[in-house]
Structure 1
Amino acid sequence: MLLVGIATAGSAPQSWGRLADASSDPLKAMATVDCLLPGQVRRSGRINYIGPALPVKTTAELCEKRGGEYVAYDRASLQSTLRVWQEKADGGDAEAQLFVGQAWERGFDRAPDLAKAAQWYAKAAKNGSREAKLALAAMMETGNGVPADPQGALRLYREAMGLREELVRASDAEARVSQARFEAEAQQAEAEARIARLQSEMAALAAARAQDTRARERKEAELAQAQAAREQAGVRLDALPPSPTRSFSRRAAGTAGAAPSLSVDGTRFGRYYALVIGVQDYDTIAPLKTPLADAEAVAGVLERRYGFRTTLLRNPDYHTLAGELVKVLANREDDDNVLVYFAGHGELDGREGFWLPRDASHDRASGLPNSLLVSAMSQFGGRTLLVIADSCFGAALAAPREISGPLEYFPQDSASFLANKGRYVISAGGETPVVDDGGQGHSVFSAELLRVLERNDRVLTQRGLAEALRPAVESNSTRLGHKQVPQVAPMRDGRGYEGGKFYLVPVGDESSRASLGMRGEGAGTLGG
């Protein structure tokens, strides 16, 4: 039986610590449950008695070891969750109020009640819960459960992040410049791609000695337009101040067997780990064309240019996929960062999304449910976590979109955005199917992801990465007759989302990595 409970945020999680290992049952180690621990044995005078049961969020594995009780995934309901947390919530406990709000927002065995969720988030926010403030701000921004109030949402977001007004003004100004720079660079990249395509088509016409003068003239006019667009983008970029992180000194210091610790001008970003998964050849369902090439290339660029210690999974089965997720998420330090990339089949069944491992069928039970993925990731004890899902319905992992935040690192941001935890999802095309190929041996999304990661020379946030990907993915997929738009959002139900940002820190190519002491343990390669 698959065991899992509600996976929700909390200020004091009972995480894996050092308990997860290769011998653990990966499903029980992944499953975060609402656990009722036995009451403490107390003594009053000469009388011994048992105190009330203690509700905690922990894994099914740890709940069992500590003698607790929990509800299995296939029997979990709104009432079973409220039974655990309602009494503490009524007593004014902010964390319990947050959990109750998340239970109403999710619904479990019934339709979500967003109005009740917002009420409990407001109570938890009033009692100091940062996660509740961020959740309520997202609802205010989108108008879900409460009247839409974008300005109020932004104020609440800034309050939750502890952003001072002078920092907000400086960050807003920098963000406007960054946005303009991103738009100009996207225009330039689009023009360059269009020029290359037109030049190839004109060369083909010349090789065929085509006599269609009008066709050649049309291509020449299109080429002139593309070249003019590239020049206009270049003029816009020259008029903008340079990215603040392009001139910073970067450092990567590490030891054998450990990921290097990255820093920029003395600001530490921590260590980076990646689990890169490509599932292309399925046992019983239709194979895909590009996930293996996508995953291999992504693993390579993350290790070579960004200092990640990577593990690459080629066509893993269910057990291998679950076990390796536990390994990469468990036993992380406070300043560790983890990226999980998945390319393969995805499915959506009602509100539940699934990643399909190699041995999956179209039966719901054979896929890895998003609720279990989020449950596992809620036990992550590091600083930031980023999931990049190049699969159909990838956004089923995500909450409403991110309200605000920088596109790249600014020195004045470090106190707020590096000090807090972040949990994010970048999906290739929202809750829709995505294109498997179309990117010269890669998917449309992963081809652009690789291009951006290879050429990038600034310290990007998760939002900056998504913004850099969006224009080309949208235009290239539209040309193939299936428009897809990458999205970025906090992870739904994710424990530990405090508004911190995931920073991608380029530290150089293969030769510079050697000089910076980044020759640790190489990427692992596992088969399902």
Structure 2
Amino acid sequence: MSVRKACPVRPKNLVSRTFITLVAALTVLVAGLPVQPSYAAVRNAEDLLIVDCLLPGQLRRLGRQATYMTARRPIRTTQADCEIRGGEYVAYDRANYQTALRVWLEGAMAGDPEAQNNVGEIYAKGLGTAPDYAMAFQWFRKAADQGYGRAKINLGFLYEQGLGVQQDGAMALNLYREAAGIQDELMYASVVAVQLKAKDDTITALEGQVAEGEAERAALQQRIEQLQRELAQRRNALNAANAELAATRERLAEARAAQDDSLTRLLESQLVAQEEQIGAQRAQLAALERQTGGSAGAATMYAGVPTLEILDPVFVATRGRNTAVYRGGPGTRRIVGRITNPSLIQAVTVNGKPAELSSGGGFSAEVEVPAAGAQVQVAAVGKDGSEAALDFTLLPQAGSGPATPNGAPASDGTLPRGVNLGRYYAVVIGNNTYRDTNYATLTSASNDANAVAQLLRSRYGYETSLVLNGSRLEILTALNAMREKLKPEDNLLIYYAGHGEIDAQGQGYWVPSDGVAGNERSWISNAAISDILNTIAAKHVMVVADSCYSGTMTRSAVPVFDASQPADKWAGWVKTMVDGRSRTALTSGGVMPVPDTGSGRHSYFARAFLNTLQDNNRLLEGQRLFREVSSSLALSALNSPVPQVPEYAPIRYAGHESGEFFFMPRGAGGTAGAP
């Protein structure tokens, strides 16, 4: 299939059109309203990238006597829109954190929570420098203290990962709850996973080697003592800097009260410098604490260690034994799970019986479940003798009929009365052919895109935009069209199938049909996509990528309905999730390459995604879609040359606050809000 090329439309009379636009812009500015140009001169793909734009102040009239100019206003918009409105900007691919800070810092220091969150994201991204998580933490906390939901999500992620602050999973969970407005009866739940650790006999065997390491241990002890002394010095320096910062703030307040503008600007500069100094000291302090064992996180402590995870059924949090409740009655119930790094695993058993382990780490087993429930133990043994075991109770939901093989929900998938999901749109992208011969021609990406677009349109009532073998400009144009078109009550799904790249810093990219191997500027970065999603007005956006997408947070940041709750709780949970703003990504393989074919005309992931949506007859939330796709892949991709390990999580820096993405097939009941 040939590559479709789009050319910008040139106006016949550029001078007269420009004059009319300028007159209209000046008229609106005098009236005190923001400029909304009827068109933007898009010359190339860079014009459609999102920038931090500082708009000119508005000219306002007070009565008949006074005319004044308001302060300049920071916004995030496209480069072309910023230009036509006379704004000042520096594009992300040419920016550093200092130029980006210049746009938002004034508002942040004045107490605007959105600006404070944006400043925190600038520090967390790095923008040309290493991320400064300590400074990001300070600004996220300022915005979160004012109740700003996005900042709470960002702050929770820092606590969960131990970035710029001591790792605290409980604090992260509380921040996620607060951001979503979730009450006690509604829960956040991630996967239930256990890590394989060395057995006692392995540890005993190693005891004979202790004597050989005595000298090294003594040296390490001396190093720890030295680090602790340095840590105490850093803490004293940090306390002194905090005291100096407090004094500067007092002087700044006095200067503002005296309306001394020159002194105020001087003190504001000093305040920013001192906060940056404190942020650097906090980062050094956190690094020293990690070296002395003060805040070592489990994520780094057991890096590369295999984990055992149950995908289906879904666990719920209880005060006693781990419990999995499924909708269905007594009978045979299938358990589906997966193991990371399956090449390191010797065997997996379910209640003592061997379970076949696929090359991708998936496994399954059937368990007979009586009315009173069944005790289940899933165990894995590593080739090095390490082991992990997960014990839980499998319970049928009270009052349910016979169990179904896949544990399908019985009755709570209806759309609650009074809830309107809004209209649904989709941009579906499938790239098979590439101009650069370094990229192999794919066989299933276009098939996947066509099938997804058709299914969303016919079964779910989406208004779809299909882009096949799209260039960089074509793909960005399709996304920008949604940015200009969608309203807050709308929903947007973006599906991408094609080649993906990851650079040395872990940044992911989609490769358009005109992408050049080794040239990052010819690709579309996940950061650029996240920026576009941040400026789209639609309340709920989901990216489904049959390629890498490394801009996600963590699955534990997504709220999940507790299957053990009474049916009347379903309506409250759905309403909470519909009211929240969400930006989530469902990906086919994390940062790993994914196979192009394997399931007929479609990739393994696309086939699982299509089957799940085709078979669905209820209100389906993103988390359940992820679990069903993951379960399907764990069973179907047994012969896949590359492990299929899907991921589902909020997208970082895309404006995620809370909420979920929902799918509602036509004729399933309720108000789906098809366009």
> What is the TM-score with the length of structure 2 in the denominator?
0.59
Q: Which of the numbers 87, 90, 96 marks the counterpart of 1:71?
A: 90
Displacement of 1:112 in angstroms is 0.7
Kept in 2: contact 1:301–1:454 (CA 8 A): yes
Q: Which of the numbers 499, 502, 505 marks the counterpart of 1:345?
A: 499
Displacement of 1:55 in angstroms is 2.4
- Structure-2 change in CA distance of 1:43 and 1:230 (3 Å): closer
Displacement of 1:329 in angstroms is 3.5
- Structure-2 change in CA distance of 1:187 and 1:301 (3 Å): farther
Task: Tell me which residue corresponds to 2:74.
Answer: 55
Task: Tell me which residue corresponds to 2:661.
Answer: 502
Task: Tell me which residue corresponds to 2:381.
Answer: none
Task: Tell me which residue corresponds to 2:56.
Answer: 38
C-alpha distance in 2, partners of 1:498/1:406? 15
Kept in 1: contact 2:435–2:513 (CA 8 A): yes
Displacement of 1:244 in angstroms is 10
Task: Tell me which residue corresponds to 2:19.
Answer: none
Task: Tell me which residue corresponds to 1:430.
Answer: 590
Kept in 1: contact 2:53–2:75 (CA 8 A): yes
C-alpha distance in 1, partners of 2:157/2:188? 21
C-alpha distance in 1, partners of 2:621/2:426? 16
C-alpha distance in 1, partners of 2:327/2:543? 22
Kept in 2: contact 1:26–1:323 (CA 8 A): no
Displacement of 1:160 in angstroms is 1.9
Task: Tell me which residue corresponds to 1:274.
Answer: 426
C-alpha distance in 2, partners of 1:47/1:306? 56
Task: Tell me which residue corresponds to 2:153.
Answer: 134
1:144 aligns with 2:299: no
Displacement of 1:145 in angstroms is 2.5
1:154 aligns with 2:173: yes
- Structure-2 change in CA distance of 1:18 and 1:417 (3 Å): farther
Task: Tell me which residue corresponds to 1:218.
Answer: none
Q: How many residues align?
A: 450
Task: Tell me which residue corresponds to 2:524.
Answer: 368
Instruction: Give ranges in structure 2 of 5+ residues lacking alignment.
Output: 1-33, 190-313, 318-322, 338-354, 357-363, 374-393, 401-406, 564-568
Kept in 1: contact 2:45–2:472 (CA 8 A): no
Task: Tell me which residue corresponds to 2:541.
Answer: 385
Letter in 1 for 2:316: R
Kept in 2: contact 1:282–1:360 (CA 8 A): yes
C-alpha distance in 2, partners of 1:358/1:329? 22
Instruction: Give ranges in structure 1 of 5+ residues lacking alignment.
Output: 1-15, 192-220, 223-227, 251-262, 521-528
Displacement of 1:156 in angstroms is 1.7
Kept in 1: contact 2:431–2:470 (CA 8 A): yes
- Structure-2 change in CA distance of 1:474 and 1:72 (3 Å): same
C-alpha distance in 1, partners of 2:603/2:188? 39
C-alpha distance in 2, partners of 1:291/1:464? 24
Once the two structures are superposed, residues 407-449 of structure 1 have per-residue CA deviations (whole angstroms, 9 ceiling, x without a partner) of: 5992111342111211111111112211212222221211211
Task: Tell me which residue corresponds to 2:397.
Answer: 240
Task: Tell me which residue corresponds to 1:294.
Answer: 448
C-alpha distance in 1, partners of 2:167/2:46? 40
- Structure-2 change in CA distance of 1:292 and 1:51 (3 Å): closer
Displacement of 1:229 in angstroms is 4.2
Letter in 2 for 1:337: N
Alignment of 1:79-228 (within 5 A): 79-167=98-186, 176=316, 180-181=325-326, 188=334
C-alpha distance in 2, partners of 1:151/1:361? 45
Once the two structures are superposed, residues 367-409 of structure 1 have per-residue CA deviations (whole angstroms, 9 ceiling, x without a partner) of: 1222222222222111100000001x22x23234442412599
C-alpha distance in 2, partners of 1:143/1:416? 29
Q: Which of the numbers 573, 587, 611 marks the counterpart of 1:413?
A: 573
Task: Tell me which residue corresponds to 1:199.
Answer: none
C-alpha distance in 2, partners of 1:298/1:418? 23
Aligned-pair Cα RMSD in Å = 4.0
Kept in 1: contact 2:448–2:606 (CA 8 A): yes
Displacement of 1:28 in angstroms is 5.8
Partner SS state of residue 269, structure 1: coil
Identical-residue share of aligned pairs (%): 34
C-alpha distance in 1, partners of 2:513/2:79? 25
Q: Which of the numbers 311, 314, 317 marks the counterpart of 2:468?
A: 314
Alignment of 1:455-470 (within 5 A): 455-470=615-630
C-alpha distance in 2, partners of 1:189/1:166? 26
C-alpha distance in 2, partners of 1:57/1:328? 16
C-alpha distance in 2, partners of 1:34/1:231? 55
Kept in 1: contact 2:40–2:81 (CA 8 A): no
